[in-house]
Amino acid sequence: MKHLLSIEDLDQEAVDGLLDRAESFAEVSKRDIKKVPALRGRTVVTLFYEASTRTSSSFELAAKRLSADVVSVKASGSSVEKGESLKDTVETLSAYDPAAIIIRHPQAGAAQMLSEWVDAAIVNAGDGMHQHPSQALLDLFALRQRIGSIEGRKIWIVGDVLHSRVARSNIQAFSMMGADVTIAGPPTLIPRGIEASGCEVRYGLEGIEEADVVYLLRMQHERMEESFVPSIREYARLFQVNSRRLNPRQLVMHPGPVNRGVEIGGDVIDSDRCLIADQVASGLAVRMAILFELLAHGGETHANAEGPVPIGEPA
Amino acid sequence: MNEVIDGLPEEGAGNGVLPAPLVQRPGPAAKVLIRGAELLDPAAGIAGARDILIEDGTVSRLADPGSLDAGDGVEVIEAEGLHVFPAFFDPHVHFRTPGQEYKEDLETGTRSAAAGGYAGVIAMANTSPPVSSPEQIEALRDRASHVASIPVGFTATVTRDMKGTELTEMAELREAGAVGFTDDGLPIASARILRRALQYQAMTGGRIALHEEDPELSGKGVMNEGIVSSELGLRGVPSISESTMIGRDAAIAGYEGGAIQIQHLSAIESIEQIRRAKLDGVDITCEVTPHHLCLTDEAVRDLDASKHKMNPPLRTESDRQALIEALIDGTIDCIATDHAPHAVHEKEVPYEAANMGVTGLETAFSSIYTELVLPGRITLELLVEKLGCGGIPFGIEPFTLAEGSRANLCLVDLEAEWVVGEDGYESRSVNSWCAGETLRGRILVTLADGQVAFRLRSFSLGVA
Q: Which of A305, A259, A312 is nearest to A288 (CA)?
A: A312
Judge: B233–A108 Cβ closer than 8 Å, yes or no.
Answer: yes
Average pLDDT, chain B: 95
Q: Based on DSSP, count helices (H) and strands (E) in chain B, helices before strands.
A: 14, 19
Residue A53 has what pLDDT?
87
Out of A107, A129, A192, closest to residue B225 by CB: A192
CB contact under 8 A, B352 and A128: yes
* Chain A residues within an 8 Å CB radius of B234: 108, 128-130
A193 and chain B: CB distance < 8 Å anywhere?
A: yes
Inter-CA distances, B360 with A129, B114, B335, B343, Å? 30, 12, 11, 15
Given pLDDT bands bounded at 50, 70 and 90, which one contains residue A80? confident
Q: Is A1 helix (H, G, I), strand (E, B) or coil?
A: coil
If pLDDT is split at 50, 70 and 90, which confidence band does A76 have? confident
Dihedral sign for Cα atoms in the order B409, B415, B416, B421: positive
Closest residue to B349, CB basis, from A85, A112, A192: A85
Chain B residues whose beta carbon lies within 8 Å of the beta carbon of residue A87? 348-349
Tell me which DSSP letter residue B369 carries. Answer: I
Q: What is the pTM for the complete model shown? A: 0.92
Average pLDDT, chain A: 91
Report whether A61 contacts A117 (CB < 8 A).
no
Strands of B289-362, DSSP E: 334-335
CA B391 vs CA B123, B199, B227, B343, B387: distances in Å: 12, 23, 37, 28, 10
pLDDT at B463: 42
Which residue stretches of chain B have pLDDT < 50?
1-12, 461-464
Interatomic CA distance for residues A252 and B106, integer angstroms? 62
ipTM rounded to 2 decimals: 0.89
Q: Cα distance from A250 to chain B (closest Cα, Å)? A: 28
pLDDT at B15: 54
Nearest to B411 by CA among B441, B374, B381: B441
Q: pLDDT tens across A94-151, in order? A: 999 999 999 999 999 999 999 999 999 999 999 999 999 999 999 999 999 999 999 9
Residues of A in contact with B236 (CB under 8 A): 192
CB contact under 8 A, A110 and B350: yes
- Residue A77's pLDDT band, with cuts at 50, 70 and 90, is confident
Question: Before B215, cis peptide (omega within 30)?
Answer: no
| Cross-chain residue pair A194–B352, CB shorter than 8 Å | no
Q: A308 pLDDT exceeds 60?
A: no
A27 CA to chain B: closest CA distance, Å? 36
Q: Do B351 and A107 touch (CB under 8 A)?
A: yes
| Alpha helix stretches (DSSP H) within B94-185 | 106-115, 134-147, 170-176
Residues of B in contact with A193 (CB under 8 A): 226-227, 230
Put simply, the answer to whether A87 touches B234 (Cβ < 8 Å) is no
Task: Supply the pLDDT for residue B3.
Answer: 41
For the domain with range B88-403, which CATH number is right: 3.40.47.10, 2.60.120.10, 3.40.640.10, 3.20.20.140?
3.20.20.140
pLDDT given at position B16:
64
Size of interface A-B (CB pairs under 8 A): 65
Residue in A109, A192, A194 nearest the CB of B351: A109
- Facing residue for A86 by CB, picked from B234, B235, B349: B349
Tell me the C-alpha distance between A191 and A164, whole Å.
Answer: 10
